[in-house]
Structure 1
Amino acid sequence: MKIKLQEDVLKDQNLAAAFNRETFQKNHTLVINLMSSPGAGKTSLLEKTVKALMNEFHIAVIEGDLATERDAERLRSLGIETVQINTGGGCHLDARMIAKTLPEFKLNAIDILFIENIGNLVCPSGYDLGQDYKVVVLSVPEGNDKMPKYPVMFRRTDITIINKIDLLPYVSFDLEEAQINLKEINPQAQLIALSAKMGEGMEEWINWIKDAHRQCIKP
Protein backbone atom coordinates (compact mmCIF):
# COMPACT_ATOMS: atom_id res chain seq x y z
CA MET A 1 0.00 0.00 0.00
CA LYS A 2 1.40 3.40 -1.00
CA ILE A 3 0.58 6.48 1.07
CA LYS A 4 0.62 9.89 -0.60
CA LEU A 5 1.50 12.95 1.41
CA GLN A 6 -0.48 15.82 -0.04
CA GLU A 7 0.84 18.53 2.28
CA ASP A 8 4.35 19.93 2.24
CA VAL A 9 6.04 18.84 5.49
CA LEU A 10 7.98 22.12 5.42
CA LYS A 11 4.86 24.25 4.97
CA ASP A 12 5.10 25.97 8.38
CA GLN A 13 8.85 26.45 7.98
CA ASN A 14 8.40 28.07 4.57
CA LEU A 15 5.59 30.31 5.81
CA ALA A 16 7.88 31.47 8.61
CA ALA A 17 10.67 32.14 6.09
CA ALA A 18 8.30 34.26 4.00
CA PHE A 19 7.27 36.18 7.13
CA ASN A 20 10.92 36.77 8.08
CA ARG A 21 11.84 37.92 4.58
CA GLU A 22 8.95 40.38 4.44
CA THR A 23 9.91 41.73 7.88
CA PHE A 24 13.56 42.17 6.93
CA GLN A 25 12.72 43.83 3.62
CA LYS A 26 10.25 46.21 5.26
CA ASN A 27 13.00 47.34 7.62
CA HIS A 28 15.74 47.41 4.92
CA THR A 29 17.82 45.01 7.00
CA LEU A 30 20.43 43.02 5.08
CA VAL A 31 20.43 39.43 6.38
CA ILE A 32 23.31 37.02 5.78
CA ASN A 33 23.03 33.35 6.75
CA LEU A 34 26.56 32.15 7.54
CA MET A 35 27.16 28.38 7.39
CA SER A 36 30.12 26.00 7.65
CA SER A 37 31.36 22.84 9.30
CA PRO A 38 32.47 23.16 12.94
CA GLY A 39 35.81 24.93 13.32
CA ALA A 40 35.92 26.57 9.88
CA GLY A 41 36.14 29.99 11.50
CA LYS A 42 32.66 31.51 11.25
CA THR A 43 32.88 33.31 14.58
CA SER A 44 36.41 34.58 13.97
CA LEU A 45 35.28 35.85 10.57
CA LEU A 46 32.30 37.57 12.20
CA GLU A 47 34.54 39.23 14.77
CA LYS A 48 36.83 40.65 12.08
CA THR A 49 33.84 41.64 9.93
CA VAL A 50 32.10 43.43 12.78
CA LYS A 51 35.24 45.37 13.65
CA ALA A 52 35.56 46.51 10.02
CA LEU A 53 31.93 47.59 9.70
CA MET A 54 30.73 48.67 13.14
CA ASN A 55 31.62 52.35 12.73
CA GLU A 56 29.54 52.53 9.55
CA PHE A 57 26.66 50.12 10.18
CA HIS A 58 24.45 49.02 13.04
CA ILE A 59 25.06 45.26 13.21
CA ALA A 60 23.31 42.47 15.11
CA VAL A 61 23.81 38.71 15.25
CA ILE A 62 21.66 35.63 15.81
CA GLU A 63 24.01 32.94 17.09
CA GLY A 64 23.13 29.26 16.65
CA ASP A 65 24.73 26.45 18.64
CA LEU A 66 23.67 23.17 20.17
CA ALA A 67 24.77 24.41 23.61
CA THR A 68 26.55 27.25 25.46
CA GLU A 69 26.73 30.97 24.66
CA ARG A 70 30.49 31.03 24.12
CA ASP A 71 30.42 32.42 20.59
CA ALA A 72 27.64 34.88 21.47
CA GLU A 73 29.74 36.18 24.37
CA ARG A 74 32.67 36.78 22.02
CA LEU A 75 30.48 38.98 19.83
CA ARG A 76 28.80 40.75 22.74
CA SER A 77 32.23 41.71 24.01
CA LEU A 78 32.54 43.84 20.86
CA GLY A 79 29.34 45.69 21.77
CA ILE A 80 27.23 43.82 19.22
CA GLU A 81 23.64 42.90 20.08
CA THR A 82 23.57 39.11 19.90
CA VAL A 83 20.70 36.71 20.55
CA GLN A 84 21.59 33.08 21.25
CA ILE A 85 19.60 30.11 19.95
CA ASN A 86 20.53 26.75 21.51
CA THR A 87 18.95 23.84 19.66
CA GLY A 88 19.88 21.25 22.29
CA GLY A 89 20.75 18.74 19.58
CA GLY A 90 19.17 20.07 16.39
CA CYS A 91 21.65 20.23 13.51
CA HIS A 92 20.36 23.46 11.94
CA LEU A 93 18.39 26.63 12.52
CA ASP A 94 14.97 26.99 10.92
CA ALA A 95 12.83 29.99 10.05
CA ARG A 96 10.51 29.51 13.03
CA MET A 97 13.45 29.77 15.42
CA ILE A 98 14.55 32.98 13.72
CA ALA A 99 11.02 34.42 13.82
CA LYS A 100 10.86 33.91 17.59
CA THR A 101 13.97 36.06 18.10
CA LEU A 102 12.81 39.02 16.01
CA PRO A 103 10.85 40.79 18.80
CA GLU A 104 14.15 41.07 20.70
CA PHE A 105 15.56 43.36 17.98
CA LYS A 106 14.68 46.86 16.83
CA LEU A 107 14.99 45.84 13.21
CA ASN A 108 14.34 49.32 11.85
CA ALA A 109 17.60 50.36 13.49
CA ILE A 110 19.64 47.36 12.29
CA ASP A 111 21.50 47.68 8.98
CA ILE A 112 23.00 44.18 8.85
CA LEU A 113 21.89 41.03 10.64
CA PHE A 114 24.21 38.02 10.56
CA ILE A 115 22.82 34.58 11.36
CA GLU A 116 25.58 32.19 12.41
CA ASN A 117 24.12 28.77 11.72
CA ILE A 118 24.93 25.46 13.40
CA GLY A 119 28.26 23.97 12.31
CA ASN A 120 27.17 21.39 9.72
CA LEU A 121 27.69 21.01 5.97
CA VAL A 122 24.43 19.11 5.43
CA CYS A 123 21.23 20.19 7.22
CA PRO A 124 21.49 24.02 7.22
CA SER A 125 21.59 24.18 3.42
CA GLY A 126 18.01 22.95 3.10
CA TYR A 127 16.33 25.60 5.24
CA ASP A 128 15.36 29.06 4.08
CA LEU A 129 15.56 31.45 7.03
CA GLY A 130 14.29 34.47 5.10
CA GLN A 131 17.84 35.71 4.50
CA ASP A 132 19.04 37.76 1.56
CA TYR A 133 22.17 35.68 1.05
CA LYS A 134 23.60 32.33 2.07
CA VAL A 135 27.35 32.24 2.64
CA VAL A 136 29.35 29.09 3.32
CA VAL A 137 32.81 29.12 4.91
CA LEU A 138 35.29 26.36 4.07
CA SER A 139 38.68 26.32 5.78
CA VAL A 140 41.74 25.04 3.97
CA PRO A 141 42.57 22.32 6.58
CA GLU A 142 39.27 20.64 5.64
CA GLY A 143 40.64 19.74 2.20
CA ASN A 144 39.51 20.05 -1.41
CA ASP A 145 37.16 17.08 -1.20
CA LYS A 146 34.45 18.85 0.81
CA MET A 147 32.78 20.60 -2.14
CA PRO A 148 32.38 17.40 -4.22
CA LYS A 149 31.30 15.42 -1.13
CA TYR A 150 28.77 18.00 0.09
CA PRO A 151 27.58 19.57 -3.18
CA VAL A 152 24.12 20.62 -1.96
CA MET A 153 25.56 23.10 0.52
CA PHE A 154 27.72 24.77 -2.12
CA ARG A 155 25.00 24.62 -4.77
CA ARG A 156 22.60 26.60 -2.59
CA THR A 157 24.91 29.40 -1.51
CA ASP A 158 25.72 32.78 -3.04
CA ILE A 159 29.26 33.13 -1.71
CA THR A 160 31.87 30.53 -0.78
CA ILE A 161 34.57 31.84 1.52
CA ILE A 162 37.83 29.91 1.70
CA ASN A 163 39.17 30.75 5.15
CA LYS A 164 42.57 30.24 6.83
CA ILE A 165 44.58 30.81 3.65
CA ASP A 166 47.52 31.69 5.92
CA LEU A 167 47.80 27.90 6.39
CA LEU A 168 48.15 27.12 2.68
CA PRO A 169 51.91 26.50 2.93
CA TYR A 170 51.30 23.85 5.58
CA VAL A 171 48.29 21.88 4.31
CA SER A 172 47.29 20.10 1.14
CA PHE A 173 44.75 22.50 -0.36
CA ASP A 174 44.62 23.90 -3.88
CA LEU A 175 42.74 27.19 -4.39
CA GLU A 176 42.58 26.69 -8.15
CA GLU A 177 41.01 23.26 -7.68
CA ALA A 178 38.49 24.79 -5.25
CA GLN A 179 37.51 27.38 -7.86
CA ILE A 180 37.06 24.66 -10.49
CA ASN A 181 34.96 22.54 -8.13
CA LEU A 182 32.75 25.49 -7.23
CA LYS A 183 32.19 26.44 -10.87
CA GLU A 184 31.13 22.87 -11.64
CA ILE A 185 28.70 22.77 -8.71
CA ASN A 186 27.44 26.37 -8.76
CA PRO A 187 28.58 28.47 -11.74
CA GLN A 188 26.90 31.61 -10.36
CA ALA A 189 28.61 31.54 -6.97
CA GLN A 190 31.48 33.81 -6.03
CA LEU A 191 34.59 32.56 -4.24
CA ILE A 192 36.49 34.77 -1.80
CA ALA A 193 39.76 33.53 -0.32
CA LEU A 194 40.83 35.13 2.94
CA SER A 195 42.38 34.71 6.36
CA ALA A 196 40.12 36.01 9.12
CA LYS A 197 43.01 35.64 11.58
CA MET A 198 45.59 37.58 9.57
CA GLY A 199 43.21 39.92 7.71
CA GLU A 200 44.41 38.90 4.26
CA GLY A 201 41.62 39.08 1.67
CA MET A 202 39.13 40.67 4.08
CA GLU A 203 38.74 43.80 1.94
CA GLU A 204 36.99 41.88 -0.86
CA TRP A 205 34.55 40.36 1.65
CA ILE A 206 33.85 43.70 3.33
CA ASN A 207 33.29 45.41 -0.02
CA TRP A 208 30.88 42.65 -1.03
CA ILE A 209 28.83 43.24 2.15
CA LYS A 210 28.75 47.00 1.57
CA ASP A 211 27.54 46.49 -1.99
CA ALA A 212 24.90 43.98 -0.81
CA HIS A 213 23.66 46.52 1.73
CA ARG A 214 23.37 49.20 -0.94
CA GLN A 215 21.23 46.83 -2.98
CA CYS A 216 19.14 46.04 0.09
CA ILE A 217 18.17 49.64 0.81
CA LYS A 218 17.22 50.51 -2.77
CA PRO A 219 13.47 51.33 -3.00
Structure 2
Amino acid sequence: RRLQICPTRLPEPGGAREGSSRWGWGYPRRPPAVAMAGAAWPLSAAAGLLPASLSLTLLLGSLVVVLVLGVAAVFLEHIRKIGCMHSIERTAVSDAFFEDPGSLKKVPCPSIFDPAEKYISLIVPAYNEECRLPEALTETLNYLKQRSSADKSFTYEVLIVDDGSTDRTSKVAFEYVKKHNIDNVRVLLLGRNHGKGEAVRKGMLHSRGQLLLMLDADGATKVTDLAKLEAEVRHTLNPIPCC
Protein backbone atom coordinates (compact mmCIF):
# COMPACT_ATOMS: atom_id res chain seq x y z
CA ARG A 1 0.00 0.00 0.00
CA ARG A 2 0.96 3.60 -0.52
CA LEU A 3 1.55 5.76 2.53
CA GLN A 4 -0.78 8.69 2.80
CA ILE A 5 -0.82 11.74 5.02
CA CYS A 6 -3.73 11.44 7.38
CA PRO A 7 -4.56 12.41 10.93
CA THR A 8 -3.50 9.72 13.38
CA ARG A 9 -3.48 9.68 17.10
CA LEU A 10 0.06 9.90 18.45
CA PRO A 11 0.88 9.66 22.13
CA GLU A 12 1.44 13.01 23.78
CA PRO A 13 4.44 13.47 25.98
CA GLY A 14 3.41 12.62 29.44
CA GLY A 15 0.47 10.52 28.33
CA ALA A 16 -2.31 10.78 25.76
CA ARG A 17 -5.14 13.15 26.32
CA GLU A 18 -8.64 12.46 25.13
CA GLY A 19 -9.47 14.21 21.87
CA SER A 20 -5.88 15.19 21.08
CA SER A 21 -4.30 14.31 17.69
CA ARG A 22 -1.33 15.17 15.50
CA TRP A 23 -0.46 15.02 11.80
CA GLY A 24 1.90 12.19 10.98
CA TRP A 25 2.68 9.37 8.55
CA GLY A 26 0.44 6.36 8.74
CA TYR A 27 -2.21 4.25 7.01
CA PRO A 28 -5.71 5.56 6.43
CA ARG A 29 -8.11 4.13 8.91
CA ARG A 30 -10.75 1.78 7.58
CA PRO A 31 -14.37 2.73 8.18
CA PRO A 32 -16.03 0.65 10.82
CA ALA A 33 -17.81 -2.48 9.72
CA VAL A 34 -21.01 -1.04 11.03
CA ALA A 35 -20.73 1.95 8.70
CA MET A 36 -20.13 -0.33 5.68
CA ALA A 37 -23.14 -2.42 6.57
CA GLY A 38 -25.21 0.72 6.94
CA ALA A 39 -24.14 1.96 3.48
CA ALA A 40 -24.99 -1.35 1.85
CA TRP A 41 -28.40 -1.59 3.48
CA PRO A 42 -30.20 0.98 1.26
CA LEU A 43 -29.08 -0.86 -1.91
CA SER A 44 -30.31 -4.22 -0.73
CA ALA A 45 -33.50 -2.65 0.51
CA ALA A 46 -34.07 -0.94 -2.86
CA ALA A 47 -33.44 -4.21 -4.69
CA GLY A 48 -35.94 -5.93 -2.48
CA LEU A 49 -38.54 -3.23 -3.07
CA LEU A 50 -38.14 -3.40 -6.94
CA PRO A 51 -41.10 -5.35 -8.37
CA ALA A 52 -40.29 -8.49 -10.36
CA SER A 53 -42.50 -7.34 -13.26
CA LEU A 54 -40.50 -4.11 -13.56
CA SER A 55 -37.23 -6.04 -13.66
CA LEU A 56 -38.58 -8.27 -16.42
CA THR A 57 -39.79 -5.23 -18.36
CA LEU A 58 -36.38 -3.59 -18.17
CA LEU A 59 -34.71 -6.80 -19.33
CA LEU A 60 -37.05 -7.18 -22.30
CA GLY A 61 -36.62 -3.52 -23.19
CA SER A 62 -32.85 -3.92 -23.23
CA LEU A 63 -33.10 -6.97 -25.46
CA VAL A 64 -35.38 -5.10 -27.89
CA VAL A 65 -32.95 -2.17 -28.08
CA VAL A 66 -30.03 -4.52 -28.79
CA LEU A 67 -32.05 -6.33 -31.46
CA VAL A 68 -33.08 -3.09 -33.18
CA LEU A 69 -29.51 -1.80 -33.21
CA GLY A 70 -28.30 -5.10 -34.66
CA VAL A 71 -30.87 -5.05 -37.46
CA ALA A 72 -30.03 -1.41 -38.22
CA ALA A 73 -26.33 -2.25 -38.45
CA VAL A 74 -26.99 -5.15 -40.85
CA PHE A 75 -29.26 -2.96 -43.01
CA LEU A 76 -26.71 -0.15 -43.22
CA GLU A 77 -23.97 -2.61 -44.16
CA HIS A 78 -26.20 -4.01 -46.91
CA ILE A 79 -26.82 -0.50 -48.27
CA ARG A 80 -23.08 0.19 -48.21
CA LYS A 81 -22.34 -2.97 -50.20
CA ILE A 82 -24.98 -2.07 -52.78
CA GLY A 83 -23.40 1.36 -53.18
CA CYS A 84 -19.98 -0.22 -53.66
CA MET A 85 -21.37 -2.63 -56.26
CA HIS A 86 -22.95 0.24 -58.22
CA SER A 87 -19.69 2.14 -58.08
CA ILE A 88 -17.81 -0.89 -59.43
CA GLU A 89 -20.38 -1.36 -62.20
CA ARG A 90 -20.06 2.29 -63.24
CA THR A 91 -16.27 1.97 -63.38
CA ALA A 92 -16.43 -1.26 -65.39
CA VAL A 93 -18.89 0.24 -67.88
CA SER A 94 -16.89 3.43 -68.35
CA ASP A 95 -13.71 1.44 -69.10
CA ALA A 96 -15.32 -0.67 -71.89
CA PHE A 97 -15.52 0.25 -75.57
CA PHE A 98 -16.90 -0.85 -78.94
CA GLU A 99 -14.79 -1.40 -82.03
CA ASP A 100 -15.83 0.40 -85.20
CA PRO A 101 -14.64 -1.71 -88.17
CA GLY A 102 -15.35 1.18 -90.53
CA SER A 103 -12.95 3.65 -88.91
CA LEU A 104 -10.90 1.21 -86.80
CA LYS A 105 -11.55 3.48 -83.82
CA LYS A 106 -12.69 2.58 -80.33
CA VAL A 107 -16.09 3.99 -79.40
CA PRO A 108 -16.62 4.45 -75.64
CA CYS A 109 -19.38 2.31 -74.22
CA PRO A 110 -22.42 4.06 -72.77
CA SER A 111 -23.76 3.16 -69.37
CA ILE A 112 -27.22 2.02 -68.40
CA PHE A 113 -27.03 4.71 -65.70
CA ASP A 114 -26.85 7.44 -68.36
CA PRO A 115 -29.96 9.05 -69.90
CA ALA A 116 -31.47 6.93 -72.68
CA GLU A 117 -30.55 7.86 -76.26
CA LYS A 118 -32.64 5.24 -78.10
CA TYR A 119 -36.20 4.05 -77.84
CA ILE A 120 -35.26 0.37 -77.70
CA SER A 121 -32.13 -1.74 -77.36
CA LEU A 122 -32.10 -5.33 -78.59
CA ILE A 123 -29.43 -7.45 -76.89
CA VAL A 124 -28.37 -10.56 -78.81
CA PRO A 125 -26.13 -12.95 -76.82
CA ALA A 126 -24.18 -15.17 -79.19
CA TYR A 127 -21.83 -18.10 -78.62
CA ASN A 128 -20.59 -19.95 -81.72
CA GLU A 129 -23.56 -18.73 -83.78
CA GLU A 130 -21.67 -18.21 -87.04
CA CYS A 131 -24.26 -20.11 -89.07
CA ARG A 132 -27.55 -19.03 -87.48
CA LEU A 133 -26.72 -15.42 -86.60
CA PRO A 134 -27.01 -13.95 -90.15
CA GLU A 135 -30.62 -15.01 -90.63
CA ALA A 136 -31.68 -13.68 -87.22
CA LEU A 137 -29.91 -10.34 -87.71
CA THR A 138 -31.24 -9.85 -91.24
CA GLU A 139 -34.84 -10.42 -90.16
CA THR A 140 -34.44 -8.21 -87.08
CA LEU A 141 -32.78 -5.28 -88.83
CA ASN A 142 -35.25 -5.31 -91.73
CA TYR A 143 -38.14 -5.07 -89.27
CA LEU A 144 -36.49 -2.30 -87.26
CA LYS A 145 -35.71 -0.25 -90.38
CA GLN A 146 -39.34 -0.49 -91.50
CA ARG A 147 -40.57 0.67 -88.10
CA SER A 148 -38.06 3.52 -88.06
CA SER A 149 -39.05 4.67 -91.56
CA ALA A 150 -42.73 4.78 -90.61
CA ASP A 151 -42.12 6.42 -87.21
CA LYS A 152 -39.16 8.76 -86.77
CA SER A 153 -39.44 8.53 -82.97
CA PHE A 154 -38.74 4.81 -83.19
CA THR A 155 -34.97 4.73 -82.68
CA TYR A 156 -33.14 1.50 -82.04
CA GLU A 157 -29.85 -0.28 -81.56
CA VAL A 158 -28.88 -3.95 -81.86
CA LEU A 159 -26.16 -4.99 -79.44
CA ILE A 160 -24.51 -8.32 -80.28
CA VAL A 161 -22.61 -9.79 -77.34
CA ASP A 162 -20.00 -12.32 -78.48
CA ASP A 163 -19.65 -14.56 -75.44
CA GLY A 164 -16.14 -15.86 -76.17
CA SER A 165 -17.01 -17.67 -79.40
CA THR A 166 -14.37 -19.90 -80.99
CA ASP A 167 -15.80 -19.64 -84.53
CA ARG A 168 -16.40 -16.65 -86.83
CA THR A 169 -19.32 -15.21 -84.85
CA SER A 170 -17.61 -11.87 -84.24
CA LYS A 171 -16.60 -11.50 -87.90
CA VAL A 172 -20.18 -12.12 -89.01
CA ALA A 173 -21.43 -9.56 -86.49
CA PHE A 174 -18.92 -6.92 -87.61
CA GLU A 175 -20.15 -7.29 -91.20
CA TYR A 176 -23.54 -6.03 -90.02
CA VAL A 177 -21.87 -3.14 -88.21
CA LYS A 178 -20.25 -2.09 -91.50
CA LYS A 179 -23.55 -2.37 -93.34
CA HIS A 180 -25.80 -0.58 -90.82
CA ASN A 181 -23.20 1.71 -89.08
CA ILE A 182 -22.10 1.55 -85.48
CA ASP A 183 -24.87 3.82 -84.22
CA ASN A 184 -27.45 1.12 -84.93
CA VAL A 185 -25.44 -2.10 -84.62
CA ARG A 186 -22.68 -2.72 -82.10
CA VAL A 187 -20.58 -5.71 -81.09
CA LEU A 188 -19.37 -6.33 -77.56
CA LEU A 189 -16.54 -8.86 -77.22
CA LEU A 190 -16.32 -10.56 -73.82
CA GLY A 191 -13.08 -12.40 -74.56
CA ARG A 192 -14.06 -15.63 -72.83
CA ASN A 193 -17.27 -17.54 -72.28
CA HIS A 194 -19.31 -16.26 -69.32
CA GLY A 195 -22.65 -17.92 -70.03
CA LYS A 196 -25.84 -16.57 -71.56
CA GLY A 197 -27.07 -14.84 -68.41
CA GLU A 198 -23.87 -12.85 -67.94
CA ALA A 199 -23.75 -12.00 -71.66
CA VAL A 200 -27.27 -10.55 -71.47
CA ARG A 201 -26.37 -8.65 -68.31
CA LYS A 202 -23.23 -7.16 -69.87
CA GLY A 203 -25.18 -6.12 -72.94
CA MET A 204 -27.85 -4.37 -70.90
CA LEU A 205 -25.23 -2.53 -68.86
CA HIS A 206 -23.89 -1.06 -72.12
CA SER A 207 -27.25 -0.29 -73.74
CA ARG A 208 -28.80 3.09 -74.57
CA GLY A 209 -32.50 2.27 -74.94
CA GLN A 210 -35.51 3.12 -72.82
CA LEU A 211 -36.73 -0.43 -73.40
CA LEU A 212 -34.34 -3.37 -73.22
CA LEU A 213 -35.16 -6.64 -74.97
CA MET A 214 -33.18 -9.86 -75.32
CA LEU A 215 -33.30 -11.71 -78.65
CA ASP A 216 -31.90 -15.20 -79.25
CA ALA A 217 -29.19 -15.44 -81.88
CA ASP A 218 -30.81 -18.54 -83.40
CA GLY A 219 -34.02 -16.68 -84.28
CA ALA A 220 -36.15 -18.46 -81.67
CA THR A 221 -37.55 -15.09 -80.57
CA LYS A 222 -39.47 -13.42 -83.39
CA VAL A 223 -38.88 -9.69 -83.58
CA THR A 224 -42.21 -9.30 -85.37
CA ASP A 225 -43.90 -9.86 -81.99
CA LEU A 226 -42.30 -6.68 -80.68
CA ALA A 227 -45.46 -4.58 -81.15
CA LYS A 228 -47.46 -6.98 -78.95
CA LEU A 229 -44.79 -6.83 -76.28
CA GLU A 230 -44.76 -3.02 -76.36
CA ALA A 231 -48.53 -2.97 -75.90
CA GLU A 232 -48.24 -5.22 -72.84
CA VAL A 233 -45.51 -3.01 -71.38
CA ARG A 234 -47.62 0.12 -71.84
CA HIS A 235 -50.62 -1.62 -70.29
CA THR A 236 -48.53 -2.71 -67.29
CA LEU A 237 -47.06 0.75 -66.74
CA ASN A 238 -50.36 2.55 -67.36
CA PRO A 239 -53.19 0.18 -66.46
CA ILE A 240 -56.68 1.09 -67.65
CA PRO A 241 -59.17 1.48 -64.76
CA CYS A 242 -61.86 -1.20 -64.67
CA CYS A 243 -64.64 1.28 -63.95
TM-score by length of 1: 0.36
**Higher radius of gyration, 1 or 2:** 2
Q: Which structure is richer in relative contact order (CA contacts within 8 A, separation 6 or more)?
A: 1
When the two structures are superposed, what TM-score results if normalisation uses the length of structure 2? 0.33
